[in-house]
Amino acid sequence: MKRVNLLIILSALVFTLIFSGCASRKDVLMLQDVAKSSASFNNSGKTSYKLHKGDNLYIKVYSVDEKTAKFFQSDLPNLMNSTYLFLNSYTIDEEGYINVSFIDKLKVEGLTIEDARNKIQKTLNEYFKEATVVVKLINFQVSVLGEVNSPGSFTIDKEQVNLFQALGYAGGVKDFANVKKVKLVRQVDNGSEVHVLDLSNPQILESDYFYLMPNDIIYIEPVGAKSRIYGSNTPYIVFSSLSTILLFLNLLLK
């Protein structure tokens, strides 16, 4: 009986040591230290994404004038799904222009989506009465990788998306996600930039990186505890620890 009790105690000690590296709540909780009632954070909520060559713009014109409306009427069913949007989109060419059939060729590279919409609207007003243009970027994708439940690339069906919404698309973070060191990879004109973000800090809501841009990649790394517990040496460590227990127990009870 004494041998069994000692075995239980020693086993508990070993497993306590092995799992002592478990993730701290401070590593996995987002937006910590926010007031219990409410808190305010300033953010313009506007993306500063500038259009690039190869971007696809969905352009749709509406009008209350019957003749104008008939001119822009499409034979395609207005399903507003990804296929429909793509078939009704215009690609920005290598020179930064879109070649829209019903207006002059327009340079939109370097403009925000809102600026491009305004430019198209201004040109449209020269040809048609009471027409309103809708412009949408349809190749807006973000990728979420690492310690999330459903990693992958996601097509965004609205003009902007923030960090937490993107994590929602990916099914949320896992138990061992290190939200204090979230890496954001962003394309820039001469390559890529990597920014390390702390999602546990409420000030992230005011960050310039809170709202994502097309082709952003979010990588959530695991806390150090996970790699220690689930590393490739784990079976060896457990086996070695149990062998040590049995050996020590033998020496004690001889």
Per-residue pLDDT tens over the stretch 112-162: 999 999 999 998 888 887 888 889 898 899 999 999 999 999 988 888 899
CATH number of the domain residue 99 falls in: 3.30.1950.10
Sheet of 141-146, strands arranged across:
152-155, 141-146, 217-222, 177-188, 191-197
Nearest to 57 by CA among 128, 126, 106, 16: 106
Q: What is the pTM of this model?
A: 0.68
Mean pLDDT of the chain: 78
Last residue of a domain, one of 137, 169, 198: 137
Give the number of domains in the chain.
2
End residue of a domain, out of 90, 119, 137 = 137
Rounded CA separation 167/218 (Å): 9
Q: Cβ contacts of residue 242 below 8 Å, gap of 6+?
A: 11, 14
Q: Which two tokens stand for residue 3?
A: 């041998």
pLDDT tens for residues 127-138?
A: 887 888 889 898
Looking at the structure, tell me whether residues 119 and 183 fall in a common domain. Answer: no
pLDDT score of 198 more than 60: yes
Both 86 and 173 in one domain: the answer is no
85/103 Cα distance (integer angstroms): 19
Out of 137, 161, 182, pick the residue that ends a domain.
Answer: 137
Are the C-beta atoms of 155 and 140 separated by less than 8 Å? yes
Mark whether 79 and 184 lie in a shared domain.
no
Q: Supply φ then ψ for residue 182, to 5 degrees.
A: -90, 125
- Does one domain contain both 254 and 144? yes
Q: Are residues 211 and 253 in the same domain?
A: yes
**Residue 165 and residue 132 in one domain:** no
- Does residue 79 fall inside a structural domain? yes
Judgement on whether residues 149 and 128 belong to the same structural domain of the protein: no
Question: Range of 118's domain?
Answer: 56-137
Examine residue 104 and state whether it is found in any structural domain, yes or no: yes
